[in-house]
Amino acid sequence: MERAVTKMQLRDGKSMTKNQRLSKWVDEVAAMCQPDGVHWCDGSKEEYQQMLDVMVEGGTARWLNNDKRPNSIIVRSDPADVARVEDRTFICSRTKEEAGPTNNWADPAEMKKTLKGFFSGAMKGRVLYVIPFSMGPVGSHIAQIGVQLTDSPYVVANMHIMTRVGKRVLDVLGPDGAFVQCLHSVGYPLTLKDGSRRNDVPWPCDGSNKFITHFPDTKEIWSYGSGYGGNALLGKKCFALRIASAMARDEGWLAEHMLILKLTNPEGKSKYVCAAFPSACGKTNLAMLEPTVPGWKVETIGDDISWMKFGKDGRLYAINPEHGFFGVAPGTSMKSNPNAMRSLSKNCIFTNCGLTDDGDVWWEEMTDEPPKHLIDWHGKDWVPGKEAKAAHPNARFTAPASQCPVIAEEWEDPNGVPISAILFGGRRSTRTPLVNEAYTWQHGTFLGAIAGSEKTAAAAGKVGELRFDPMAMLPFCGYNMGDYWQHFLNVGQKGGSAMPRIYFVNWFRKGADGKFLWPGYGENSRVLKWVFERVDGKAAAVDTPIGRLPAPGSLDTNGLQVSEDALKELLHVDVAGWTEELAAIRAHFAQFADRLPKGMKEELDSLEKRLAAAR
């Protein structure tokens, strides 16, 4: 296969910046990785189109039918490169303790030495792209700048959608502005160390040598061997969560794995809510929800990440650091998330989805009736009933956020939006009620710290066993989780009564028959309404050992197709079950030893006492 990239006009963009540190770093990386050329990205539409052409000409992508999905491509990855690789993800802080028991740690100097071996000559035969990007509206005081160096046109195109790229970012960076260094290579040089040459492949990667490494002390990311999603689009999980969480700890703000939504009541009053759920628990669906409660409106600010800083009024203001949606495709449909489907109508990148005979995409559950034939994500013929999936379960769409029909007009406000409530959630079939309000910020931090999901039959381990995923940050916290909880408590102390209220929600409780008790999706607006009215001091609640639950009649059930018994069960506090769970919480906390905040111990003891009193 000939390299289309040689036909590209490369831009020597050194003159685009006066930032010496940046120019020097690009030179150093070029000397180490030995690309054929260097291209500085200006972030223009033309450049984006050129990247798509490069991918199509090089065999990485193909155009979808322009009448059905204008200006959109489909890409198939190597089957050895389909998801984030948590076991190959490292936090290289000074000490192992700083990374904590929930992260893989590696010594920073050792890791750099190992990686230099892999990166040397890694870009031979390729172009090194320099991508200056802003996480958050360019110039916002909450935003941060990064520069990604990569040899992947797929990454360049995705970064164009997911972040704000180009010259305007360098202008804000100025001669001595700070930026996060994000170095990436797919790890597939076209000239090998012994001098032999090889042809390019549609999805170059190094399937057996992946390293997703973070250096929080020097604010660097080095990612090698994978071209997929969170491993390769370094602005997202690597920067906006792992590195940013460590920056937030040092600087007194919050970098969270949370959607941001705007909720408006029938009187036209709006509040902003953040919500953290583990991956694949419906964050994108909640962020774009169509309420079933008449007169209420949900609009989207972000679907995955929230950066929050204190405003002059002492409240927490959030921005969405991203510029697009990198969502899981399977399961997304006009039923589960019509606004996501509408966001995908054009200008999108689809990865590992099925390709229909009329040149469109399809994935499991997209429509009730599957197409009669398609080409699956492996490039093979697929017909309904075939055991193999048409789309990989982690198939993704990359879509500009501006295409979402319910994007809030203030989604790019550089000052962010003031947050009234934070929801934590997980996937629990028992015990955890539909909604539960924390008594205090400290109690809410505790509820976030014990968030988790039950293992399903598909995963290793005992079915029903709880996997704690504190604040949905387990794979994304860039430092010791115990210190992270302490930071959460410190921020709460600083904000005092101006802090958002904290809630725990669970859409996944099941009845004795094993069926979900709550219909979810648009009906979740009933819970959002209760939260809104609690913050407004209008909805009533009852105190229980685990927190404040909706008082009888305070949750709007008008028109809801759920039986009285199911509702009772959804709001029932299972004192015996929670008492049983205390041991698991103690064991979860014990791993943090002396880094477990005193406030967390206090909350656990108080919970135990309240449960004992209720027995």
Residue 37's contacts (CB-CB under 8 Å, 6 or more residues apart) are 10, 127, 128
Residue number, 216 or 327, with CB nearest to Mn ion: 327
CB closer to ligand OXD, 229 vs 482: 229
Nearer to ligand OXD, 328 or 549 (CB): 328
Residues 54-73, interacting with Mn ion (CB under 5 A): none
Cβ proximity to Mn ion: between 78 and 304 the closer is 304
**In the window 472-511, what residues touch Mn ion (CB under 5 A)?**
none
Nearer CB in complex with ligand OXD: 304/454: 304
Catalytic residue among 281, 348, 353, 477: 281
- Residue of minimal CB distance from ligand OXD? 279
CB of 331 to ligand OXD, least distance (A): 14
Closest CA to 471 of 275, 301, 328: 275
DSSP H helices in 70-152: 96-99, 108-119
In this complex, which beta carbon is closest to ligand OXD, that of residue 279 or of residue 351?
279
Q: Is the CB of 132 or the CB of 302 nearer to Mn ion?
A: 302
Amino acid identity at 614: A
Report the amino acid identity of residue 201. Answer: V
| Binding segment toward Mn ion, per CB under 5 A, in 203-211, 303-311, 348-356, 606-614 | 303-311
Output 84 or 160, the one with its CB closest to ligand OXD. Answer: 84
Partner whose binding site includes residue 230, from Mn ion, ligand OXD, none (CB under 5 to 8 Å by kind): ligand OXD
Q: How many whole angstroms separate alpha carbon 112 and alpha carbon 218?
A: 12
Tell me whether residue 281 is one of the annotated catalytic residues.
yes
CA distances (Å), origin 79, targets 82, 351, 378: 6, 12, 8
Backbone angles phi, psi at 236, to 5 degrees: -80, -95
Secondary structure in 3-state letters for 283-339:
HHHHHCCCCCCCCCEEEEEECCCEEEEECCCCCEEEECCCCEEEEECCCCCCCCCHH
How many CB atoms are located within 10 Å of the residue 541 CB?
A: 16
Smallest distance, Å, CB 560 to Mn ion?
29
Residue 229 or 354 having the CB closest to Mn ion: 229
Smallest separation (angstroms) from ligand OXD to the CB of 89: 12
Interacting span for Mn ion (CB under 5 A) from 127-135, 301-309, 386-394, 502-510: 301-309
Query: Which does residue 486 bind out of ligand OXD, Mn ion, none, counting CB within 5 to 8 angstroms by kind?
Result: none
* Alpha carbons 517 and 431: distance in angstroms, whole number: 13
**Angle subtended at Cα 468 by Cα 220 and Cα 104, rounded to the nearest 5 degrees:** 30
Pick the stretch among 130-138, 143-151, 154-162, 299-307 that binds Mn ion (CB under 5 A): 299-307
Q: Tokens representing 336?
A: 């589960």
Q: Strand 349-351 and strand 73-75: pairing? A: parallel
| Contact residues: ligand OXD, CB under 6 A | 84, 230, 279, 304
Report the nearest approach of ligand OXD to the CB of residue 437 (Å).
Answer: 26
Longest dimension (CA), the chain: 75
Given the structure tokens 């955890």, which residue do they identify? Answer: 432
By CB under 5 A, how many residues form the interface with Mn ion? 1
Tell me which residue has tokens 């490494």: 213
Q: What is the DSSP-derived secondary structure letter of residue 7?
A: G
Question: Which of Mn ion, ligand OXD, none does residue 47 bind (CB under 5 to 8 Å by kind)?
Answer: none
Give the one residue of 304, 376, 412, 483 binding Mn ion; rule: CB under 5 A. 304
Residue 322 makes contact with Mn ion by CB under 5 A: no
**R_g over Cα of the chain:** 24
Q: Shortest distance, CB of residue 77 to ligand OXD, whole angstroms? A: 14
* Closer to Mn ion by Cβ: residue 81 or 304: 304
Q: Which of 339, 319, 297 is nearest to 410 (CA)?
A: 319
Q: Which does 425 bind (CB under 5 to 8 A by kind): Mn ion, ligand OXD, none?
A: none
- List 214's β-bridge partners, or say none: 91, 221
Query: Which two structure tokens, joined as six digits, stand for 106?
Result: 């590696």
Per-position x/- string for 256-295, each x denoting binding to Mn ion as judged by CB under 5 A, each - no binding: ----------------------------------------
Tell me the C-alpha to C-alpha distance, in Å, between residue 97 and each of 180, 183, 354.
Answer: 23, 25, 44
Task: Supply the minimum distance, in Å, between the C-beta of residue 524 and Mn ion.
Answer: 18
How far is residue 459's CA from residue 159's CA, in Å, rounded to a whole number? 32
Q: Min. distance of Cβ 292 from Mn ion in angstroms? A: 26
Contact 288, 333 (CB under 8 A): no
Q: Please say whether the beta carbons of 506 and 428 come within 8 A.
A: yes
Cβ neighbours for 332, distance < 8 A, ≥ 6 positions apart:
284, 340, 341, 363, 365, 366, 397
> What is the binding site for Mn ion (CB under 5 A)?
304
Active site residues: 281
